[in-house]
């Protein structure tokens, strides 16, 4: 896959640069909004002009990035699809059709999810550093919540990989099952897929619930601590907004981690030039 992406490295590097610039713009919003609030209270309009300029620049970068992404990744998908079909000549038609769909998932991750992932990572790191400067106790609280989230999702990662592998094994049988024309066989196939999908959903719900309890505690603590430490309304607002950004990043990053686990399993499958091993998942969980 890396070899196939080489002809597009210039376009992809440009889109990634736009992603980073956009992420920096979103990261600065709470700080600039806080400055604007304090400025208006002090009868200064400079903060409002800064806020307007940041908003226009960030939206402009977002539009340019989306326009470039759609064209670049369309070319990538066509190139990788051609190579996949040519390389996996001995793979069954059912598995090959499913793998083309999986390949689309990989390309869509780079086009749609990767920009948000980069923004979340940069936002998480930048938010923690800014909170370190604004309120050290809240900074320590963020580190603690991040550690809890990493432990929870790290522990359940092997289950996510196992469920995704079983789901994809069954998915590769789809064309074969549909071609059989037997409604009961199609029903069993779909039920097996849905059972693995439900297992993945239940696991995510449990993980999110555990982490969210700690994030709510952090939010309550941050409101109390910021009011006691900060003398300016804008600073209090900025601190609370950065805690919100931190919570959003902590909530989103595990979803991307689980998506990465799924794509890692798909990438291994796409690199398999041999016959499909999907019959292993023929038994319901």
User: Which pLDDT does position 281 carry in this prediction?
Assistant: 39
Q: Is 41's pLDDT higher than 50?
A: yes
pLDDT in tens, 183-202: 888 888 888 888 888 888 88
Q: What is the mean pLDDT of residues 145-154?
A: 88
C-alpha dihedral (174, 180, 181, 186), degrees to nearest 10 = -40
- Phi, psi (rounded to 5 degrees) for 182: -100, 110
CA 59 to chain centre: 20
Bigger pLDDT: 83 vs 198:
198
Please state, rounded to an integer, the average pLDDT across all residues of the chain: 77
Task: Output the CA–CA distances (angstroms, integers) from residue 109 to 64, 112, 158, 241, in the order listed.
Answer: 19, 5, 21, 28
CA 244 to chain centre: 17
CA 205 to chain centre: 16
Cα–Cα distance, 97 to 269 (Å, whole number): 13
Cα–Cα distance, 239 to 54 (Å, whole number): 19
Q: Is 113's pLDDT higher than 80?
A: no
First to last CA, the chain: 32
Q: What is the mean pLDDT of residues 234-238?
A: 75
Q: Could you say which architecture CATH assigns to the domain 2-281?
A: Up-down Bundle (1.20)
Q: Taking a C-beta distance cutoff of 8 angstroms, is the pair 110, 183 a contact? A: no
Q: Is 280's pLDDT higher than 50?
A: no
Task: Output the CA–CA distances (angstroms, integers) from residue 40 to 43, 209, 236, 239, in the order listed.
Answer: 5, 40, 15, 18
Q: What is the mean pLDDT of residues 144-148?
A: 90
Counting Cβ atoms within 10 Å, is residue 84 exposed (0-12), middle (13-18) or buried (19+)?
buried
| Dihedral sign, Cα of residue 41, residue 46, residue 50, residue 53 | positive
Q: What is the mean pLDDT of residues 11-38?
A: 81
3-state SS class at 271: coil
Q: What is the mean pLDDT of residues 72-98?
A: 70
Cα–Cα distance, 173 to 261 (Å, whole number): 21
* Segment among 55-69, 76-90, 143-157 with least mean pLDDT: 76-90
User: Which pLDDT does position 278 carry in this prediction?
Assistant: 44
3-state SS class at 275: coil
Q: What is the DSSP letter of 272?
A: -
74-83 burial: b if 16+ Cβ within 10 Å, else e: eebbeebeee
Alpha helices in 172-182 (DSSP H): 174-180
């Amino acid at each position: 896959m890396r070899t196939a992406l080489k002809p597009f490295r210039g376009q992809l590097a440009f889109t990634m640069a736009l992603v980073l610039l956009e992420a920096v713009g979103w990261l600065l919003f709470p700080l600039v909004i806080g400055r604007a609030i304090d400025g208006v209270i002090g009868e200064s309009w400079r903060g409002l002009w800064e806020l307007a300029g940041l908003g226009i620049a960030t939206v402009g970068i977002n539009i340019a990035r989306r326009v470039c992404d759609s064209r670049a990744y369309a070319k990538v998908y066509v190139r990788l699809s051609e190579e996949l079909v040519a390389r996996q000549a001995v793979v069954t038609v059912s598995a090959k059709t499913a793998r083309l769909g999986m390949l689309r998932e990989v390309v869509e991750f780079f086009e749609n999810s990767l920009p948000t992932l980069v923004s979340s990572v940069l936002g998480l790191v930048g938010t923690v550093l800014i909170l370190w400067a604004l309120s050290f106790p809240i900074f320590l609280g963020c580190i603690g919540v991040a550690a809890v989230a990493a432990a929870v999702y790290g522990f359940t990662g092997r289950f996510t990989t196992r469920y995704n592998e079983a789901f994809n094994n069954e998915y590769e049988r789809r064309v074969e099952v549909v071609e059989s024309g037997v409604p009961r066989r199609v029903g069993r196939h779909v039920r097996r897929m849905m059972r693995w999908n439900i297992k993945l959903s239940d696991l995510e719900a449990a993980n999110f619930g555990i982490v969210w309890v700690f994030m709510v505690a952090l939010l309550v603590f941050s409101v109390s601590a910021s009011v006691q430490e900060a003398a300016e309304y804008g600073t209090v607002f900025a601190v609370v907004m950065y805690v919100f950004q931190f919570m959003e990043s902590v909530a989103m990053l595990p979803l991307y981690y689980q998506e990465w686990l799924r794509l890692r399993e798909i990438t291994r499958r796409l690199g398999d030039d041999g016959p499909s091993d999907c019959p292993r998942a023929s038994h319901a969980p």
